[in-house]
Amino acid sequence: MQDLAALLPFVGLALIFWLLLIRPQQRRQRELASMQSSLGVGDEVVLTSGVYGTIRSLDDEGGARIEIADGVTIRVVRAAIGQVVRGDDTDDTDDTGVANDVSEES
């Protein structure tokens, strides 16, 4: 019985390790795989290297063509796509990034 009680702290540490480190990482991997499998042409994305672009085509081998500037496309694997940029239609900036004055003048 004492041998079993001596193992209890190790079992507890293993459980805490699994709950705090392993399980959240598995969840993040599932979310990333789900996002990468649901990509579509026209989606604005950020690559894991920090480059912003728009998906122009997807192929069956797991690759994608990303337009990073007008007329400049690069071919990457889907795993290089880190996140999809969600545009906000209520944005108060114009194409130059300068905030528009939305206050009414009397």
The Cα 66–Cα 31 span in angstroms is 21
Region 19-39: what's the mean pLDDT?
A: 89
Tokens read off for 2:
């004492």
On the question of pLDDT at 103 being above 60, the answer is no
Res. 49 pLDDT band, cuts 50 70 90 = very high
- State the average pLDDT for the chain: 83
Mean pLDDT of 68-95: 80
The confidence score (pLDDT) of residue 106 equals: 46
Tokens standing for residue 11: 């079992």
